[in-house]
Amino acid sequence: MKRSGWLIGLALIVFITAVGSAQMTTWFQWTYLPQKLMDEIIGESSGETAFNHVVVMGANSRDRKAEEYAGTLMESQYVLDQLKSYGVKDAEIARFPGGETWDGVRGELWEVEPIHQKLASYTDLRAMLAEGSNNADVTAELIWVGEGRSSDLEGKELAGKIVVTTGQATMVHNIACQQKDAAGVISIASPRGGTDPFSIPFGGIRTFSDKPVKFAFNLPPREGALLQSRLARGQKIKVHAVVESGRQKYDLQDPTCSIPGTEPGSEEIILSAHLFEGYVMQGANDNYSGCAAILEAARTLHTLVESGRLPRPRRTIRFLWAPEFSGTIPWVSAHPELMKRTLCNINLDMVGLQLSKSLSFLVALRTTYGNPHYVNDVLEHYYRYVSESNRNYIANRYSQVDARRMVAPTGTEEPLYYYIATHFGSSDHEVFNDWGVGVPAVMMNNWPDLWYHSSGDRPDKLDPTQLKRAVIIAAATAYTIAAADDGIASQIAGEIVSNASGRLGHQLGRGIEEVKRADQNQLPGVYRRTRGYIQAAALNERNTLDSVIELSSDKARMGKHLSTLKAALNSLEEGSLKALEGQMRMATALAGTKPVDVDQTPEEKKASGIVPRPTPKIREKGYRGYRAAIDEAAKTSGKQGAVSNAGQAAAEIQLLCNGKNSALDMKKMLDTQFTRPTELDSIVQYLEILKVAGLVDY
């Protein structure tokens, strides 16, 4: 009996083990590159080195001296020196005309009555003195004005007093100082006061008035709360404020270098990061982290290629550090021929946070439908690889042999929390994405960042491990595209279709939900619009597949392969549309109404015949060089309203003019990407302006 029970127990264990093994799922621990080459990139990339770059450049917020503005800015020189020490031969600083910037010299705020104590000092924290503050030497009484709105100031005598507010310094200054003659502002505003009582938001005084600017100090939430409490109790507090500031001339400085490809005059991939965002705010994560990451990516790839551990890629990989927008725009404009050869841009803006500390993710921000490109899927590929190689699945807990540990010696062992997001601008990749430049560009970014644009953005918030992972992802993505042959190109194309199934599924799920929420009167319009979501997403996937052809040597063979993959995409689209139709028919059956008619309206038929083709004039003057032609065309045709009606969709309408998308396609693609539907007539009218301007033809 005991022996029989033992055998039964053993059989159960074997059965359960077999079932458990059968439930194991393969995770995505593969890459486009051979594992040996991927291991070289993983091993050589150093999160410690990247972190040390951040510490050198941004351990604290420095006061720049006049001599620095007159010569080479510290960060520019540091990047150049590091590149030269690595043996990068073409490292240089490109310079462009700059302008003048506000320069804080001194800012002291002392309480003089009823006690003597220092409240704020520019020397202690640069963010304590609002950028734009003018010279002052004032002794004045404090007065509490709440949020500092006009209604808060009514009935208060502010002349000659310094107002204390929870409002933003610039807003309160423009009302209290310029309209009611207050002497200055003390702001205790902090959108992060609940999470960091020491952090002060960086901000400046901006005014459109002819009256001279006065001054503003910012206090951290903890100290601000104490001051607010004293004023609320009716204490009379008098302070002495001293401000010294000036203006400094500067030039725009763009360190740059490259890893040359094997093919002369080859295509290029550009890695970028903004080195400056103004010259007062100096953020560790925003954006010394991005600069440090591409500096380490440059060292890693240069070292591996020069030592023969990585084959030299066919295409050139270029690196660009620049003042945000203001330095990237002239550099791009100065290299129109290079832009024609550039396949894509990968921009790193805030990539080093310890993610759990900021409740953050490493986000990949895709291109819009107007710039469909395989770089989106290559970047996503390495996000997934790095993340899944550094996590432990309960189903796979006995099989970690394929995992690749990507952890810095002094970094955390946290997972890589990430997500793939739709497009968002507000950084240098938008310069490349511009219609006049035409380089598809994506961005790597941490969000949320609890210390964004604040005095708390210091290296203690960063994690060498996450910096290492950002370096690996950026370096591997750039190298994969630079080295891609027909084999890698076909892999990329296949993965686009694989990922497309999820993206189409998302639009199907979105459509089903919107149909479910629609009432009987709304349903026809909602159903037609949600069909457009699926059609637009599928069209974008087909356009993305078309972009892969540029990586191929045998265009004819690759074209046939892409046609096969497009047929698979068409089947996915058809299946999704049928599923959505089923949801619509169920909704109408339950409501006792007829199914929705999806025949095109006369307006839609007309719009489907408008297929604008871009003209060479678009890129003749580079970044936004086409804007003058649009404004002139709108003026001469008397249709300025067509430009304003297009609104925020205008830039995307421009990009969607590829000689294949109709005006009706554009509406579907805009409605899929934007939260509010775009009127078809607005699109058609805007296209007419572009045609008059000579920018498109149809």
Model pLDDT for residues 625-648, shown as the tens digit of each residue: 999 999 999 999 998 888 988 988
Spatial CB neighbours of 257, under 8 Å, sequence gap ≥ 6: 83, 88, 90, 91, 92, 298, 318, 319
What would the DSSP string read from start to end of 54-112? HHHHHSS-----HHHHHS--HHHHHHHHHHHHHT-TT-EEEEEEEEEEEEEEEEEEEEE
pLDDT, mean over the chain: 94
* Average pLDDT of the residues in 320-325: 98
Among 160, 108, 101, CA closest to 129: 108
CA–CA gap between residue 164 and residue 179 (Å, rounded) = 16
Is the pLDDT reported for residue 20 higher than 60?
A: no
Here the tokens at position 276 are: 């400056």
172 — pLDDT class (breaks 50, 70, 90): very high
Which pLDDT belongs to residue 193? Answer: 67
Here the tokens at position 445 are: 């970014």
Neighbours of 57 (CB within 10 A): 21
Is the bond preceding 409 in cis, omega lying within 30 degrees of 0? no
Which pLDDT belongs to residue 400? Answer: 55
CA–CA gap between residue 290 and residue 294 (Å, rounded) = 6
For residues 361 and 414, the answer to whether their CB atoms sit within 8 Å is: no
Is the pLDDT reported for residue 2 higher than 70?
A: no
CA–CA gap between residue 438 and residue 619 (Å, rounded) = 8
Residue labelled with tokens 């759990």: 356
**More reliable by pLDDT, 203 or 508:** 508
* Average pLDDT of the residues in 452-462: 96
For residues 615 and 695, the answer to whether their CB atoms sit within 8 Å is: yes
For residue 324, the 8-state DSSP code is: T
CA–CA gap between residue 80 and residue 68 (Å, rounded) = 15
CA–CA gap between residue 205 and residue 133 (Å, rounded) = 7
**More reliable by pLDDT, 6 or 477:** 477
Exposure string (b/e) for 330-345, b if CB count within 10 Å is 16 or more?
A: bbbbebbebbeebbbb
Percent helix, strand and coil across the chain, each to the nearest 5: 45, 15, 35
Among 226, 112, 233, 238, CA closest to 183: 238
Among 313, 522, 349, CA closest to 427: 349
Structural element, H or E, at residue 443: strand 441-447
For residues 223 and 193, the answer to whether their CB atoms sit within 8 Å is: no
Which pLDDT belongs to residue 195? Answer: 81
Report the percent of the chain where pLDDT is more than 70.
95
Which pLDDT belongs to residue 403? Answer: 75
Which pLDDT belongs to residue 54? Answer: 98
Which pLDDT belongs to residue 402? Answer: 61
Neighbours of 222 (CB within 10 A): 14
- CA 72, 78, 82, 83 dihedral sign is negative
Which pLDDT belongs to residue 18? Answer: 45
Here the tokens at position 582 are: 């089923």
Q: Quick: pLDDT tens for 485-523.
A: 999 999 999 999 999 999 999 999 999 999 999 999 999
**Residue 537: burial class (beta carbons within 10 Å; 0-12, 13-18, 19+):** buried
CA–CA gap between residue 563 and residue 541 (Å, rounded) = 12
25 — pLDDT class (breaks 50, 70, 90): low
* Average pLDDT of the residues in 144-167: 96
Structural element, H or E, at residue 364: strand 361-365
440: three-class secondary structure by DSSP:
coil
Indicate the residue type of 476. Answer: A
For residues 51 and 311, the answer to whether their CB atoms sit within 8 Å is: no
Which pLDDT belongs to residue 490? Answer: 98
Is the pLDDT reported for residue 21 higher than 90?
A: no
Task: Supply φ then ψ for residue 647, to 5 degrees.
Answer: 55, -140
Indicate the residue type of 203. Answer: G
Instruction: Report the 3 state secondary structure along 151-190.
Output: HHHCCCCCCCCEEEECCCHHHHHHHHHCCCCCCEEEECCC
Among 421, 420, 283, CA closest to 352: 283
pTM higher than 0.75: yes
Is the pLDDT reported for residue 584 higher than 70?
A: yes
393: three-class secondary structure by DSSP:
coil
